[in-house]
Amino acid sequence: MLEANNLRKNFGDVTAVDGISFKIDKGEIMGLIGQNGAGKTTTFRMILDLLTPDQGEVLWKGKRLTNKVFNQVGYLPEERGLYPKVSIEDQILYFAQLRGKSKKEIKPLIDDWLEKFDVKGKKGDKVKTLSKGNQQKVQLITTLIHQPELIILDEPFSGLDPVNAELLESGIKEAQANGASIIFSSHNMNNVEELCDSLIMLRDGNQILNGTVKEIREKFGRTKLFLESPLSLDELKQFPGVQSAVVNREGISVLQLSNAENGKAIFDAATAEGYIPTFSQQPPTLEEIFKRMVGEKNG
């Protein structure tokens, strides 16, 4: 439904985004990840027509975006913005009206949404009386209550505690189940891994990874080995291809291999005397991949 083709944006001599392309289908969640300054917010602003690309185009359902289409968009900016002296209810109604909804349509929904996000406050309370976390939840409600078909969330989990982060995850999954196309940025790779069907990783405006979460993890090979066996840590470190070896809190040895094939010799040695309770080779986590890819530039 949403398609970006070869987007490029320059600010003077600086290229903020350099040739990004992607497609998000109905009911799909895509993560946009990268360090600060990698080009995530610039990409969002080009999608929303707040910035004009120097190259490329953004299409929604195969057509250029129009003002009518923007009524179908829910956008949570990185720089949060609510009116502190306005009541929660009036705040939500105002933003819904900007998206073409009437007070009559939205007013009956407000109580349910406040309950869904567990907002600690009455709808008549002024926004300034709420905690920072509850203000953020109100802004999330203004982003979602008009049931947008396209949802863009810039660092939505920033500042949320685990309980409220879980509420947001539930809200995102519900919107996905209703058919929304969703794109969000986050520095928390656990959120990305939990929610996203696909992701793009940016570095200095360049697209360095693009694919499904599973594809990207598998691309790096099953080089993480979890092992419970008679072999000591010192013995395990002697095997070819073992880059590091530690014992976790559960007493399981965790090895980083240079190549997935290195695991065979370790398996043969560990099982030489029979059954062992744990042997599992897994691809690296997104957080490990993120650190590795960013480190290639910084190292």
The pLDDT value given to residue 34: 92
**Residue 253 belongs to some domain of the structure:** yes
**Residue 298 belongs to some domain of the structure:** no
Q: How many domains does the chain have?
A: 2
The pLDDT value given to residue 299: 43
**DSSP-H helix ranges across 18-131:** 40-47, 67-70, 88-98, 103-106, 110-116
**Residue 102 belongs to some domain of the structure:** yes
- What is the pTM for the complete model shown? 0.86
- Assess whether 195 and 226 both reside in one domain: no
**Residue 124 belongs to some domain of the structure:** yes
Mean pLDDT by 10 residues, the chain (299 residues): 95 95 96 93 93 95 82 87 91 93 94 93 91 90 94 91 91 95 93 93 94 91 93 94 94 93 95 92 91 68
Separation in Å, CA 55 to CA 11, 17, 22, 52, 75 = 13, 10, 15, 9, 23
- Assess whether 151 and 181 both reside in one domain: yes
- Assess whether 259 and 127 both reside in one domain: no
- Cβ–Cβ under 8 Å, residues 158 and 150: no
The pLDDT value given to residue 9: 97
Which sign, positive or negative, has the C-alpha torsion 200, 201, 203, 209?
negative
The pLDDT value given to residue 179: 96
- Assess whether 59 and 132 both reside in one domain: yes
**Residue 43 belongs to some domain of the structure:** yes
Most distant CA atoms of the chain, gap in Å: 73
**Residue 290 belongs to some domain of the structure:** no
Q: What is the CATH number of the domain that holds 249?
A: 3.30.70.330
- Assess whether 142 and 196 both reside in one domain: yes
**Residue 186 belongs to some domain of the structure:** yes
- Assess whether 120 and 234 both reside in one domain: no
Give the domain range for residue 237: 221-282
Instruction: For residue 46, give the DSSP letter.
Output: H
Q: What is the CATH number of the domain that holds 76?
A: 3.40.50.300
The pLDDT value given to residue 192: 92
Identify the domain boundary among 156, 186, 212. Answer: 212
**In terms of Cα–Cα distance, which of 185, 180, 157 is closest to 290?**
185
